[in-house]
Structure 1
Amino acid sequence: MGRTLEAEVGPVAHGGHCVARVEGRVVFVRHALPGEVVLAEVTEDKGGSFCRADAVRVLQASPERVEPPCPLAAPGLCGGCDWQHAKPEFQRELKARVVAEQLSRLAGIDRPVEVEALPGGPLDWRSRVRLVAGRDGRAGLRAHHSHRVVALDDCPIAVPGALDGVLSRRWRPGTELEVTRDGDGQTHVREQSVVRGKRRARQLSGGVAVQHAAGRDWKLDAHGFWQVHPAAADTFAAVVADWAKATAGALVWDLYAGVGLFASVLAAQVGPEGEVVAVESGRRAVTDGEAALADLPQVRWRSGRVEDVLRDLGGRPEVVVLDPPRSGAGRAVVESIVDRGPARVLYVACDPAALARDLATFVASGYRLAELRAFDAFPMTHHVECVALLEAV
């Protein structure tokens, strides 16, 4: 810890860092780019075959390097962004390399990957931010792999104005703050703190967000699940509409349905004679979804964990759409899907490693990856959103 190494930086790796090799050990280096030579300060070393480090000085810079737009996007400071030191188009190239590598290594699928930009540019996009108050009461984000709070005066990737009322005041140290700017430009703030050993949550402003996507207006819990990038929900809904191709009268499933964004798209395709089964574990999301899609009686909601609901779910769906959490759907859910033999499966994923692991199970069970699109839904970070189309062989 604290020692400095000179390293020639190698390929990008999943997680917002690059790989170097020094004295026979792997070093995962943040704030570097492939091909650079850097002085890297070790930040974590538990022994074994690898350690972690920050590039504190660049000796030979990549032509893709730029000055970060935020002064806190630097070693030892804010952990919210990973790639501010790279040109936006090169950020997308790095993410494409990661997706391709994960597909090849974990699923045995070799194919070129392009990460597409969403409208709006690399800044001013983050509509939801979770902050925490440091010892001085100022709100900020944690340093990378640390509980230390880095106070913010501003955040250039956040939607302009969303954080003004939170960053301008002092809070009880340790207070967690969830800030959401909705589709109508309203800001919603929820405070969570521990008082006398008990966790207390309090809505300070708003509470019910209004969002717009797939030709609908949605009202939902401001701090429930919705895509963070303002253009993401509409973009992903359009991809699902293009690839699902559900026939009129068909049975289709929307798993991890949230408030029913994809269910609304599928309902339009199967029509009033069809059936969309939307499965969601969050009770508030189901309530909001039922209200939002009350005009679509072909949407039938099931509340519960997907792996539990699938055990009792009857019928053979023509199409299955799933949008699982970052950890992925997992083998049990994938096998439950393939046992029903849908013609097409659309998998929306925010983690390429989890996607690749689940695709490996699909491929081993008689499906092929027919299409893949990747989107830069989280510019300046290492995160990337993918939509995969699987077809029964």
Structure 2
Amino acid sequence: MTPSSGGTRGRRPRTRQPRGASRVGARFEVEVGPVGHGGFCVARHEGRAVFVRHALPRERVVVLVTEGTEGDRFWRADAVEVLQASPHRVEPPCPYAGPDACGGCDLQHVAVPHQRELKAAVVAEQLRRLAGLEVDVVVEEVPGDTPPGSGLGWRTRQRYSRLPDGGRAMRKHRSHDLVPVDQCLLESPDPSPHHVLGVDFAVEADGFWQVHPRAPAILVDAVLAVLDPRPGESVLDLYAGVGLFARFLGDRVGDAALVTMVEGDRTAASHAADNVPGATVLTGDVATVLAGLPADPVAPVDLVVLDPPREGAKRAVVEQVVARAPRAIAYVACDPAALARDVAILAEHGYGLVSLRAFDLFPMTSHVEVVALLSRGS
């Protein structure tokens, strides 16, 4: 799964009881610290953490507090003045990027190659903090932006909010407030292709499909490479969507009947049945469906693909997976924190991280896609 554009589906901050006087609107200088998970960097002010957007590590900036009260453990803020700039800072190409503007892009102020370095640092930090692993992470550049190397023009499916006069708009960060826009620079001029490695896939008009034009093929290749499917092996594809991975895994193991897909969305599951003829498609909550299936040794599984939504697979699903003692698990993650939490649970059951590849499928945003291989005893 991949995230939708932050600019089109802004999140309203969680309602909570104020812990003292509001600090929204306060301004002060900070020395910016490391990049954090979520499109911000971490700074300190009088001992309190401040999550600063539109900044870079080691910069000196003036921030404006956007969320926070006197009693909060941390505040959120925007960098509104740069006193000492990073050498990696650039002028955002989009006129709507920046404080109090469109919230869809986190990193337009960062040179594109350095964006990948920041994302690699986030993935490594989450694995270190949540899974206790030291992993060297490289985020790979993915062709498909327009012009090449710009980080723009790659998003093949874009949604705009509408203003009362019918004009286009995007949402501010963590808000439903609208920002009028002419055009999102991430939007591709070409429609979303549903043709992958010689196969046409049936997909609902508003159904899930990767928004980067190269993403489906790259992720399929990565999953096949790490699992190394062998003829006759059985496959369990969880959060299967329309059957993107299952289709090619069925070809590799030699018989689609060896593939079982589980998908919560009924429309996507229906398309999966068409896209992977002969495979078994089970519809429903993944944890609930797995709990109703016989576990090893009654129904052993050789290979598992996990491609959960942003919150991850979580313990109920992970423990159902390891109960089937698969030879290898390919975990496709769009959230490094969720990945790290699930990797830690897998480690409790003897499944270790063997390899990890990260792909920059969402330039200009903080999002990154990861394909990890886990196996027993590693």
- Structure 1 length as normaliser, TM-score? 0.85
1:10 aligns with 2:33: yes
Q: Per-residue deviation at 1:246?
A: 2.2
Q: Per-residue deviation at 1:182?
A: 2.1
Task: From 91, 109, 112, give the equivalent of 2:136.
Answer: 112
Query: Is the CA contact (8 Å cut-off) linking 2:357 and 2:372 kept in structure 1?
Result: yes
Q: Per-residue deviation at 1:120?
A: 2.1
Specify which structure has the higher proportion of strand: 1
Query: Is the CA contact (8 Å cut-off) linking 1:28 and 1:52 kept in structure 2?
Result: yes
Alignment of 1:1-393 (within 5 A): 1-46=24-69, 47-121=71-145, 122-160=151-189, 181-183=191-193, 211-272=194-255, 275-294=258-277, 297=278, 299-314=279-294, 315-393=299-377
- The CA deviation string for residues 339-381 of structure 1, in whole angstroms up to 9 with x for no partner, is 1111100000000000000000001110110010000111000
Q: Per-residue deviation at 1:219?
A: 2.0
Query: Is the CA contact (8 Å cut-off) linking 1:250 and 1:274 kept in structure 2?
Result: no
Q: Per-residue deviation at 1:286?
A: 1.4
Distance in 2 (alpha carbons) for counterparts of 1:362 and 1:343: 13
Query: Is the CA contact (8 Å cut-off) linking 2:256 and 2:276 kept in structure 1?
Result: no
Gaps of 5+ in 2: 1-23, 146-150
More moved, 124-133 vs 69-78: 124-133
The secondary structure found in structure 2 opposite 1:90 is helix
Number of corresponding residues: 344
Q: Per-residue deviation at 1:274?
A: 5.6
Distance in 1 (alpha carbons) for counterparts of 2:271 and 2:73: 49
Distance in 1 (alpha carbons) for counterparts of 2:160 and 2:321: 38
Distance in 1 (alpha carbons) for counterparts of 2:272 and 2:74: 46
The secondary structure found in structure 2 opposite 1:41 is strand
- The CA deviation string for residues 214-259 of structure 1, in whole angstroms up to 9 with x for no partner, is 3301121021111111100100000111111222122110110001
Query: Is the CA contact (8 Å cut-off) linking 2:247 and 2:256 kept in structure 1?
Result: no
Amino acid in the other structure paired with 1:212: H
Query: Is the CA contact (8 Å cut-off) linking 1:254 and 1:276 kept in structure 2?
Result: yes
Q: Percent identity?
A: 53
The secondary structure found in structure 1 opposite 2:357 is strand
Distance in 2 (alpha carbons) for counterparts of 1:136 and 1:51: 35
Greater relative contact order (Cα < 8 A, sep 6+): 2
Q: Per-residue deviation at 1:135?
A: 4.1
Amino acid in the other structure paired with 2:356: L
Query: Is the CA contact (8 Å cut-off) linking 1:244 and 1:266 kept in structure 2?
Result: no
Gaps of 5+ in 1: 163-180, 184-210
Q: Per-residue deviation at 1:272?
A: 2.5
Distance in 2 (alpha carbons) for counterparts of 1:143 and 1:105: 30
CA 1:331–1:310 in 2, change beyond 3 Å: closer, same or farther? same
The secondary structure found in structure 1 opposite 2:201 is strand
Distance in 2 (alpha carbons) for counterparts of 1:17 and 1:287: 39
CA 1:226–1:31 in 2, change beyond 3 Å: closer, same or farther? same
Distance in 1 (alpha carbons) for counterparts of 2:67 and 2:164: 24
